[in-house]
Each structure stands twice: as C-alpha cells, then as structure tokens.
Amino acid sequence: MARPTYINPRPFVYLAFGLVVWWLAPGFVRALFKDAFYEFQAPLVLTQSQLQDIQTYWAVYAGTPKHDMITFNRDLLRVNANLTSQNNQLQRLLRENNRRVERLLAVPSRPEYKSIIARVARRDINTWWQRLILRRGREDGVRIGSPVVVGTGVVGRVAKVHATTCEVQLVSDPDFRIAASVDGDERTAIYQGAPNVPFVLPQGVVTHLPSDYTYTPGEGAQVSVFTSGAGGVFPGGLLIGIVVGELSATSDGMFFEGRVRLHTQLTSLEEVAILIPLKPGPTLLE
C-alpha cells in the first residue's frame, strides 16, 4: 500500500508570509519596490519589443524578392525628397501666416514643442486600456506631463518617466482631464476620460460646455472634440474624439455635456510622438 503523499506546505507558508509583509509595508516602501522592480524589468520589455521589430523585419524581408526592394527604395527616396521639399515650403508659409495672424489678433505666444518619435513597447496589462509603455525615457529628455500624440489626435500624456522608457496615461483614463473645445464654439469645455466598460471602445466625456451652446452639425455630420490649447500643456487643435449621441444640458442647466468616442487610431498604436515643451510651465502633474 502506497503511502499517501503530502504536499510540502512550506512554500505556501512563505507566500502567505510574504503577502502579509507586503500588505503591512508602508506605501512608500511598496512604491520604492515597484519602481526598482520596474527598472530591472524594463530591459526585458525593451528587448522583447525590439525582438518583435526584428522578427517583423525579417518576415517582410524574407517574403519579398530583392530587386523589388531596390525598386521600392528608389521610388520611396524620390517621393520622400519631393514631400520633404513641399513640407519645408508649407511649414515656412504656415509659420509666417501664423505669426502675422497672431500679431494682428495680439494672441499671447503659445508653448512650443520639440517632438520625439517613440515606439510603443507594450500596453501595460495592469490597466489594460489606460497605459502604454514607450521606448523613450529620461535619457531622451521626456518629462512627466508631456503630451503624447499620434498624427493629429491625442494619445495621452506621460505619467511616469524611467531611464529608457516612459508610461503614458491614455486619453481614456478617468484621471485624464484636459481643456477642450467643441465644433462650433471657441469657448472652453473640459474633456475627461470615462470609466472603462469591458469589450467597448474607450470613451470619455465632455463637460462644462456653456449652456448657450447652439451649434447643430449638418445632416449626418458629427461634432468633434478638440484640444483647446488654453490649458497650457497640450497644443490646440488636436482631435480627441467625436461626440456620441447628443449633447444634453445638465440637470442644473448650467452646462452641456456628452459622451465622446475616442478617435480610432488609439486602438492600433505602434508609433507616437511625445511633445516636449521647450519652455516648460508650472504644473502640478509631476
């Protein structure tokens, strides 16, 4: 008769003990541990992301004949040269026009930014929709609070900066709040992320829209929500999303508010731009 085998309880005891110690530890100790652990873990995240890039590169490379690559390359170089020249010309024109209009309207100077392109290393699984990890960090000059954009849309802002990576609080995070403006009205409204519903695209809310807002979009058109630029952190005119349904008055009649469907680029992010303010202003976000 075989003797019954008992599971060794010691690891469980250690685990329980460890959990109790962790639970009892003061907040700052836990934060210190988390940060230290993160810095150790970061190279792994980076390596994993880079390996993924190499894998994609070789998969494409192996599946394409060599002479095609040469032809593509030549064509792309031509297009690139052409576009760069056009871009420079347009940018110069735009800058001149902007300056002229701002002088005429006596607009106070807006913050200027230097942009850094950053690849998305991964989405933070702890807060699935709300955080991204980017392959840029303190060493690249990233600061807490810096806006993160893709194309002409808002992605979020830098919430934590590590040596070579940074974490981005996404625009859908309920703790993300910025000054916005809505189609047809120049005045300040407020955009804030909304609590997440599983299996539903991320949403936010626009609030504090003045109660005499009267804009009605044309047939089939939608009301867009943009950054207003008045908040001092984000530049103006970046798309946040589209108002879902109708804007409705709050029960006290003081404001209009509505739900905002965030722009679709947010669901498939590979590369984003971090905007580093050239003259950083005061902020309580740090």
Partner 1 sequence: MMDDTNSNDTVPWRLYLAGGFVFILFLILVLRLATLQLLDEEGYKQSANTQSRRLVIIPAPRGNIYDRAGHLLVGNRPAHNVVADVAALQNEMNEELTRLRREERAARRAAVPGENGKLSRARDDELREIAPVNVLQQYLDKVNRVIGRQETLDAKAVIQHLTKLSRTRAIPITIVRDLTEAELARFMEQVPVDYPLRIASESIRTYPYGTTAAHVLGYVRSDRGDLAAMPELSAAAPEVLEFFALSEEARKQHMLKGFAGQEAVAGVEASFDKDILQGIPGHQLWTVRPNGYALEQLTGAPPRQGKNLYLSLDVNLQRTAEQALAQRFPGYFASVIALDVKTGEILVCANAPSFDPTRIQQTAYYKEFLKSGSLFNRATRIALPPGSSFKPITAIAALRAGVINPDTIKDCGAYFEIGRRKYIEHDRNAFGRVNLVRMLQVSSNVYCYQVALDTGIEKLAAEARRFGLDQPTTLEISQAPASRLIIPTPEYKRKRTGEGWALGDTANFSIGQGSMQTTLMHLTSMFASIARNETRTAISIIHDPARSSGRDHHGEPIGLPPDQYQAIIDGLVACASPPNGTGRSVAGYGNYSGIQRLGGLSVASKTGTAQVSNNTANLAWVLAFAPVENPQIAIGVLIEGKPGDTNFGGGTNAGPIANSVLLEWRKRYFSTEIKAPEVPAAVPFTGYQPGFSER
* CA-wise closest residue to 263 among 154, 174, 125, 169: 154
User: Residue-wise over 11-24: b if at least 16 C-beta within 10 A, else e?
Assistant: eeeeeeeeeeeeee
By CB under 8 A, tell whether 212 contacts partner 1. Answer: yes
By CB under 8 A, tell whether 2 contacts partner 1. Answer: no
By CB under 8 A, tell whether 172 contacts partner 1. Answer: no
User: Residue 280, SS3?
Assistant: coil
By CB under 8 A, tell whether 253 contacts partner 1. Answer: yes
155 burial type by CB count under 10 A (0-12 exposed, 13-18 middle, 19+ buried): buried
By CB under 8 A, tell whether 206 contacts partner 1. Answer: no
Taking CB under 8 A as the criterion, the residue among 254, 267, 271, 280 binding partner 1 is: 254
By CB under 8 A, tell whether 188 contacts partner 1. Answer: yes
Q: What is the dihedral of CA 36, 41, 43, 49, to 10 degrees?
A: -140
Stretch that binds partner 1, among 47-55, 75-83, 98-106, 231-239 (CB under 8 A): 231-239
- State the binding string over 121-160 for partner 1 (x if CB under 8 A, else -): ------------------------x---------------
Stretch that binds partner 1, among 71-79, 120-128, 196-204, 250-258 (CB under 8 A): 250-258
CB 30 within 8 A of CB 22: yes
Q: CA 223 to CA 191: how far, in whole Å?
A: 14
270/286 with CB nearer partner 1: 286
Residue type, 33: F
Taking CB under 8 A as the criterion, the residue among 231, 244, 247, 273 binding partner 1 is: 231
* CA-wise closest residue to 264 among 280, 246, 242, 247: 242
115/188 with CB nearer partner 1: 188
Q: Which two tokens stand for residue 108?
A: 């106070």
Residues in contact with partner 1 by the rule CB under 8 A: 145, 174-179, 187-188, 190, 192, 208, 210-212, 228, 230-234, 250-255, 282-285
